Amino acid sequence: MNKYFLGMLAGLCLWGCGSTSKQQENAGQEQANTVTFSQAQVKEALDFSVQQYLGMAKHLPDSIMPRTTNTKDGSLRTSGTSWWTSGFYPGTLWYLYEASGNEQIKQEAIKRTAYIEKEKHNKGTHDLGFMLYCSFGNGYRLTDNEAYKEIMITGANSLSTRFDETVGCIKSWDHGKWKFPVIIDNMMNLEFLFWATKATGDSSYYHTAVKHADTTLKNHFRADHSSYHVIDYDPETGEVVQKKTHQGFSDESAWARGQMWGLYGYILCYRETQQPRYLDQAIHIAEFVLNHPNLPEDLVPYWDFNAVDIPKASRDVSAGSLLCSALLELSQYVDTDKKTKYLEAAEQLLISLSSDKYRAKLGENNHFLLKYSVGSMPHNSEVDVPLTYADYYYIEALLRFQELSRKS
Distances (CA, A) of 307 to 247, 284, 310, 386: 12, 21, 6, 20
* Catalytic residue flag (residue 185): yes
Residues in the chain: 408
The residue from 47, 62, 73, 127 that is catalytic is 127
For the CA atoms of the chain, what is the radius of gyration?
Answer: 20
What whole-number distance in Å separates Cα of residue 211 and Cα of residue 208? 5
| HEC per residue, 76-128 | EEEECCCCCCCCHHHHHHHHHHHHHCCHHHHHHHHHHHHHCHHHHHCCCCCCH
Assess contact for 334 and 283: CB atoms under 8 A: yes
- Check the annotation: does 94 bind a ligand: no
Assess contact for 189 and 170: CB atoms under 8 A: yes
- Check the annotation: does 257 bind a ligand: yes
Amino acid at 84: W
What whole-number distance in Å separates Cα of residue 44 and Cα of residue 114? 29
* Catalytic residue flag (residue 164): no
The residue from 185, 304, 316, 391 that is catalytic is 185
- Check the annotation: does 245 bind a ligand: yes
- Check the annotation: does 271 bind a ligand: no
Binding residue positions for substrate: 127, 185, 245, 257, 261, 376
The catalytic residue positions are 127, 185
Binding residue positions: 127, 185, 245, 257, 261, 376
